Amino acid sequence: MHVRALSLRDFRSWEAAELELSAGRTVFLGSNGNGKTNLIEALGYLSTLGSHRVAADAPLIRIGAQKARVGATVVNAGRELRVDMELNQGTANRAQINRSPVRRPREILGILQTVLFAPEDLSLVRGDPGERRRFLDELATARLPRLAGVRADYDKVLRQRSALLKTAGRNARSGNRGAEMGTLDVWDGHLAVHGAVLLAQRLRLVHELYPHLAQAYSGIAPESRPATIAYRSASLPPEYLDPARSPQPEDERELEAILLRELAAARPKELERGVCLVGPHRDDLELMLGSAPAKGFASHGESWSFALALRLGAFELLRSAGTDPVLILDDVFAELDRRRRTALASVAAGAEQVLITAAVPEDVPAELEAVPMRVETTGEADRRASRIAESASM
């Protein structure tokens, strides 16, 4: 898989950009502030419907504009597909496939698969559980695009149920038992159904990612303690959390029953606190180095190695399905020592398409032989002057 063309309109700092790309390795060169990361952020958005830098869409729309457009032509096994997204201020986003509108933006998921490694990935190791849940869910959705609908349905149920818990809790404390209790039973069922699907996919993903992660980490940091991962959930029995366990198709029904039992048991506490205490939104991906958790115990170098191993493991897992995802490396080589550079470069050398951002050519390992594209601004006060000029091969 590779991107043949990328177009932007009013995305981040770019009023307009049109790029022709090719398979192989391309590096976007330019000093900070010239918009090179914005280019690969746009591709990441088409792949995941989210940014690796911000949680909301509003910052992606150029200041002064009402909407932004991102489009790409993707080549996969000799077949071309055009995918376009329109990001709107205050209204729903819209998407097209081959210039034809689709009902929901999430219908474009799966057309472009990317694995993006960026400095922000340190938060996978050092950040909150939400960062690791997002990593799991985006990777699971790349493998099974229909999971995007399950995630959206789960989030909707979670919001509705949480609001109902607050109302029911207030009424219960005032001595009024309203109709909310019966309605909560209905929402419990919805949460268990969608939550079970999401849990089953996460457990399956951890099981399959585990060996790729361990191998990647040992190659990056052979002198370090072995790296392992495990899914952590207070809602599930321990036997479900063993990463060596291969999840079965019937697990979804069992997980649904488990969630319903846990929701019933947690109901008094949930009413008291007004929050939903059971479900995959409370879970975490545990990262271990030897017998110690990476968070809080890993050195800076070990944290970088673990974050890199997670992304390389994800790349190999997606690749095992028969198609190389586009590998995107956002200004990371300057942060890595020689060994980690070499490990990353060895994987990149065999990928169908690699897109790299760097401030100077010296940041990119020579063995990658990347084709440079200079990203620059011809007028500091006028972003419309932004342009890309292709240079000679490095």
Which residues are part of a known binding site for ATP? 30-37
DSSP-derived letter for residue 340 is: H
Q: Can you read off the two tokens belonging to residue 87? A: 């990001």
3-class SS at 181? helix
Tell which residue, 225, 92, 231, has the closest CA to residue 152.
92
The strand pairing partners of 376, in sequence order, are 387
Q: Can you read off the two tokens belonging to residue 205? A: 């993903």
Per DSSP (E only), the strands in the chain are 2-11, 14-20, 24-29, 67-76, 79-88, 94-97, 100-101, 114-117, 227-232, 284-289, 292-293, 326-330, 353-358, 371-377, 386-390
Tell which residue, 144, 42, 110, 121, has the closest CA to residue 325.
110
Share of the chain residues as helix, strand and coil, in percent rounded to the nearest 5: 50, 25, 30
Torsion of CA 334, 292, 212, 148, to 10 degrees: -90
Measured between alpha carbons, how far is 27 from 209 in angstroms, rounded to an integer?
Answer: 28
- Which amino acids are annotated as binding site, given as ranges? 30-37
Measured between alpha carbons, how far is 242 from 129 in angstroms, rounded to an integer?
Answer: 19
The strand pairing partners of 71, in sequence order, are 7, 84
The HSE-up count of residue 11 (CA atoms within 13 Å, CB side) is: 27
Measured between alpha carbons, how far is 39 from 92 in angstroms, rounded to an integer?
Answer: 23
The HSE-up count of residue 260 (CA atoms within 13 Å, CB side) is: 13
Q: Amino acid identity of 17?
A: A
Measured between alpha carbons, how far is 338 from 333 in angstroms, rounded to an integer?
Answer: 9
Residue 353 CA to its chain's centroid (Å):
19
